[in-house]
Structure 1
Amino acid sequence: MDRRIMRSRQMIMQAFIELLGEQDFEKVTIQGIADRANVNRGTVYLHFTDKYDLLEQSVDTYLMMLADSCIPEEGTTTELSRDLFIRAFTYLKEHAAIYSVLITNKGIPTFRHRMTQMIKGNVTMVVNHMKLESDIHRDVLAQFLSVSITGLIEWWVVESMPYTPEEMVEQMNKILEARLQLW
């Protein structure tokens, strides 16, 4: 893709995310996005059908960037490693301005839902390769872990990332090792 096209798309998505941080999705307009990105309306429409298409493509782009940040140097893995989670939390912290808007914006649950689905896909792959010593159903375990991880990420972002990525991963590890018996 031409660098100018990529740069325009990036500026438009960045402007869109900034506006979402300031107002509800319903109030964001194509003209407002164009003004913020310092492009004309037509340029926005060259890249995106409407603001809903812009939302979908932004969610796809930022989820892909998050996923790419977690990939180990040696490629895909069937393990949920400490290093993988540290990379994910570190990436989220480094790009907090973007992800805090996407995760917490009440008008667009799309990002949170799709992030949960992405996590679930990866967790399911790992769970399917695990040796389970109990009668826990793999699909139940995968759902529980993916929703828990998403919820923990959301909490961490909403609370302004009060712990380092390493501390968050250590806490997750302790929780998983504890095998809490609630009843």
Structure 2
Amino acid sequence: MTAKKEDRRVQRTRGMLFEALMDLIVEKGYDAITIQDIIDRANIGRSTFYSHFLDKEQLLLENVDQLREFLKEQRVIPSSQGEPGEYRFGFSLAMIQHVQSHKLIFRAVAGKQSGVLVIYHIKRMLTEIAREEIAAFLPSSTPPIIPQEVATEFVVNTFWSIVTWWMEQSRPYSAKEIDQMFHKLALSGISALEN
């Protein structure tokens, strides 16, 4: 058996497990899902599951890691030398579009007790990305008035609040409009860091 064929089989199995997890999150909520639920839905054996993942959280984390890599590929960190107002968080539009295309999953976890762990890992991933972007945005020569960690928390929580609000609304804002709202709010807040 060639390594390529084996890689495809591994990818296919992991893909089926991920799809099963996402479908079950929509149906039952993350906390209520068991390994048995996942393997029944994916139609694979228990030993096959455990040959890939330790538990359902590791399955979730691998997919959050894939989302992180996708967001990093989509972004371009702008130069801090540009004109005021030119700066854009590179992760935001891609993440908003991702949430939009996975609306059912988002609604199944956002604001729900059973989605706390899922949201925790997603926000932690966004915090890592935002921290990198804020560090690139801010001049390193002068100490900021507000610590970068506070600015990072502000940006991520502003982003998450806007996206959550958007998913709860029936108003037809586009992903691009939501991204623009986020930038206006977040950039006005962190512009204080430069003073």
TM-score by length of 1: 0.73
Q: How many residues align?
A: 175
Instruction: Give the distance between the partners of 2:108 and 2:177, measured in 1 at CA.
Output: 23
* Contact map agreement 2:61 2:121 (CA 8 A) in 1: no
Query: What 5-or-longer segments of structure 2 have no aligned partner?
Result: 1-5, 81-86, 190-195
Q: Select the residue among 71, 74, 98 that pairs with 1:70.
A: 74
Q: Select the residue among 38, 41, 45 that pairs with 1:33.
A: 38
1:96 maps to what in 2? 103
How far the C-alpha of 1:161 sits from its partner, in A, is 7.9
- Aligned-pair RMSD on alpha carbons? 3.2
* Contact map agreement 1:93 1:161 (CA 8 A) in 2: no
Deviates more, 1:2-11 or 1:17-26: 17-26
Alignment of 1:116-155 (within 5 A): 116-128=123-135, 129-130=137-138, 135-155=145-165
2:84 maps to what in 1? none
Amino-acid identity (%): 24
Residues 159-183 of structure 1: per-residue CA shift (max 9 Å, x gap): 478421111022223334666xxxx
Find out whether 1:112 has 2:116 as its counterpart.
no
Instruction: Give the distance between the partners of 2:148 and 2:90, measured in 1 at CA.
Output: 23
* Contact map agreement 1:120 1:142 (CA 8 A) in 2: yes
Alignment of 1:168-183 (within 5 A): 168-176=178-186
TM-score by length of 2: 0.70
Instruction: Give the distance between the partners of 1:69 and 1:167, measured in 2 at CA.
Output: 22
How far the C-alpha of 1:62 sits from its partner, in A, is 3.6
Query: What 5-or-longer segments of structure 1 have no aligned partner?
Result: none
